């Protein structure tokens, strides 16, 4: 009953998450996953998603910063939590909370090797390589420096070495992707020659696995958005559906205006509805005046005027059987997240990661 108190609800089917993970394991043939649950698990809820994945045997989780990692630790996630974007000023916090930092430049490496931190138990770290994306990561000519500084340091344990493909979903950049793989192979060979310990290597994420299956030659893969659904494969089903309960219906006459700045003037007598979802919830203010459409029983409901902070107004003029309290779809079975992203000229990541935490997540 408590769920009915909320006007906007994000329904998340954890059984579909389990099914997607199972399919992924069978298709790819690699069982050692790093589940990326940064940005509140792409908006799906990091704690609930991580707990379900932990039940399913996932042992490695990727987050963006130390706050996300500590939150998972405090909520019972016991696996390896990899902090992928640490800062020079929070390394000590990361290590003290038994999180695993990614080392991507000399400054962070030297900070971890600082004698003040030797009292902390053996440090598990991950090393990021820049293979062409030119964001985070050591360049190829810095690898020898990294090896020489870490080698023979018994209190340092390299758990994985990885890189990130810049265009995994663009076949036009296939040659560049191959160059990144070749560079990563060189780095892998250098570390294998210098370290006898078992180190995992990974360069593939959701998009790269989906589009470059022949390039899988690593011992780990990172899964993010693909866990939550895909438009490329019917066997990977959408996990989430976001719906809003219509909160108000009114009739307006031709020439009357709607919303801030009177951005919409009715060209005729109209029936309009108020939806309790606005730009504080994850919509964009610019998606008004028909750019965004909600769906009700297959019928599009175009927005009218600009999006407000906590609500938006839609055109109900062509809908006869709708009442206050009825649910309309933002994305879900009536329109997929990927179709919505195409309509809005964006990507699914942007739509889900900006969903406010005040939106009620309903897990089942």
Q: Which residues are catalytic?
A: 38, 260
SS (H, E, C) the chain: CHHHHCCEEEEECHHHHHHHHHHHHHHHCCCCEEEECHHHHHCCCHHHHHHHHHHCCCCEEEECCHHHHHHHHHCCCCCEEEECCCCCCCHHHHHHCCCEEEECCHHHHHHHHCHHHCCCCCEEEEEEECCCCCCCCECHHHHHHHHHHHCCCCCEEEEEEECCCCCCCCHHHHHHHHHHHHHHHHHHHHHHHHCCCCCEEECCCHHHHHHCHHHCCCCCEEECHHHHCCCCCCCCCCCEEEEEECCEEEEECCCCEECHHHCEECCCCEEEEEECCCCCCCCCHHHCCCCCEEEECCEEEEEECCCCCCCEEEECCCCCCCCCCCEEEEECCCCCHHHHHHHCCCCHHHHHHCCCCCCEEEEC
Yes or no: say if 338 and 246 are a contact pair by the CB < 8 Å rule: no
Yes or no: say if 352 and 49 are a contact pair by the CB < 8 Å rule: no
- Cα–Cα distance measured from residue 218 to residue 222, given in angstroms and rounded to the nearest whole number: 11
The Cβ of residue 288 has, within 10 Å, a number of other Cβ atoms equal to 24
Contacts of 333 (CB under 8 A, 6+ apart): 238, 241
Yes or no: say if 35 and 24 are a contact pair by the CB < 8 Å rule: no
- Cα–Cα distance measured from residue 138 to residue 263, given in angstroms and rounded to the nearest whole number: 50
């Amino acid at each position: 009953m408590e769920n009915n108190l909320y006007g906007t609800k994000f329904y998340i089917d954890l059984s579909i998450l389990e099914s997607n993970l199972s399919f992924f394991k069978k298709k790819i043939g690699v069982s050692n996953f790093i589940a990326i649950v940064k940005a509140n698990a792409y908006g799906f809820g990091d704690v609930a998603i991580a707990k379900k994945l932990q039940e399913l045997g996932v042992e490695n989780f990727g987050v963006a910063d130390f706050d996300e990692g500590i939150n998972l630790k405090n909520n019972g996630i016991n696996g390896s939590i990899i902090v992928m974007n640490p800062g020079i000023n929070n390394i000590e916090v990361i290590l003290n909370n038994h999180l695993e930092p990614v080392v991507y430049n000399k400054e962070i490496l030297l900070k971890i090797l600082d004698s003040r931190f030797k009292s902390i138990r053996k440090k598990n770290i991950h090393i990021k390589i820049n293979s062409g994306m030119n964001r985070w990561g050591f360049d190829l000519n810095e690898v020898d420096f990294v090896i020489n500084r870490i080698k023979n340091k018994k209190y340092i344990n390299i758990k994985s070495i990885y890189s990130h493909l810049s265009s995994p979903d663009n076949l036009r950049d296939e040659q560049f992707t191959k160059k990144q793989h070749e560079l990563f192979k060189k780095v892998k060979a250098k570390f294998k020659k210098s370290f006898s310990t078992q180190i995992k290597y990974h360069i593939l994420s959701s998009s790269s696995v989906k589009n470059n299956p022949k390039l899988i030659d690593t011992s780990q893969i990172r899964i993010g958005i693909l866990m939550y659904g895909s438009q490329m494969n019917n066997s990977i089903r959408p996990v989430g559906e976001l719906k809003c309960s219509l909160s108000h219906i009114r009739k307006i006459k031709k020439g009357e205006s709607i919303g801030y700045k009177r951005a919409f003037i009715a060209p005729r007598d109209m029936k309009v509805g108020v939806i309790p979802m606005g730009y504080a919830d994850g919509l964009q203010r610019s998606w008004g005046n028909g750019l965004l459409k909600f769906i009700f029983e297959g019928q599009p409901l175009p927005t009218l005027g600009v999006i407000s902070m906590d609500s938006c107004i839609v055109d109900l003029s062509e809908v006869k059987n709708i009442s206050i309290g009825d649910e309309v779809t933002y994305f879900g079975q009536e329109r997929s997240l990927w179709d919505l992203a195409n309509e809005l000229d964006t990507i699914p990541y942007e739509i889900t990661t900006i969903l406010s935490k005040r939106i009620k997540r309903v897990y089942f």
